[in-house]
Amino acid sequence: MEEQLVSYIKSKISVTDQEMDVILSYFKPIKLKKNELLLTNGQSSQRTYFVTTGCLRIFFINEEGQDSTRYFAFENQFATALVSFITSEPSEEFIQAVEDSEVYYITHKNFYHLLDIIPKWEKFYRIYLEIAYVTNTKRLMSFLVQDALEKYRQLMNENPIIVRRLSNKLVASYLNISQETLSRLKPRL
């Protein structure tokens, strides 16, 4: 599974074997049970995760107690409560394993230490931030300009793994629609 992390890093930056060994020395593996929480509202996000198997979900809970999913990370994707990770302020988000999962994590301290000792890690971080920015901006735009059917159609085109692997409840939470609306949309596509 470490090979997945190595492959992902090498797909973004060119590093020597020695640099890769240093990078990997800061990542630690953990196994997670389905529904296990890695971060709760009010905690500072001190880790970023790389998923080798399973799925992590980043979500909020509103005043009415309803959750709204911001992001799913499947195999070969990173996930963290990025605003809290960058600022060290308390997170308003939760991170949860929605399947039994195996992930690698790196602490905030070690992630930033790599920026100091491996110059190419700066490029990796820039790419990481660019991907996060584009993903979040596309999601925001979809909420502002698309109706439920258009959001579902876009999800099916761009990220069908969410619909294939996850429950209707989680898909509806991601699209910010009710489960009933989702049930009505599915036969239309």
pLDDT at 2: 87
Three-state DSSP class for residue 152: helix
Residue 188: what pLDDT? 75
Q: What is the C-alpha to C-alpha distance for residues 58 and 71, in angstroms, rounded to an integer?
A: 5
Q: Are 1 and 102 within 8 A, CB to CB?
A: yes
Q: How far apart are CA 62 and CA 40, in angstroms?
A: 14
For every residue of the chain, which 3-state class applies, written as one string? CHHHHHHHHHHHCCCCHHHHHHHHHCCEEEEECCCCEEECCCCECCEEEEEEECCEEEEEECCCCCEEEEEEECCCCEECCHHHHHHCCECCCEEEECCCEEEEEEEHHHHHHHHHHCHHHHHHHHHHHHHHHHHHHHHHHHHHHCCHHHHHHHHHHHCCHHHHHCCHHHHHHHHCCCHHHHHHHHHHC
Which domains does the chain possess? 2-118 (2.60.120.10)
Q: Which residues contact 138 (CB under 8 A, 6 or more apart)?
A: none
Q: Would you state the pLDDT for residue 33?
A: 98
Mean pLDDT by 10 residues, the chain (189 residues): 92 96 97 97 95 97 89 96 94 96 97 96 96 91 88 90 93 91 83
pLDDT at 117: 96
Query: What is the predicted pLDDT for the residue at 133?
Result: 94
Chain centroid offset of residue 137 CA? 14
Give CA–CA dist 3/9, Å, rounded.
Answer: 10
CB 101 within 8 A of CB 53: yes
Backbone angles phi, psi at 137, to 5 degrees: -70, -40
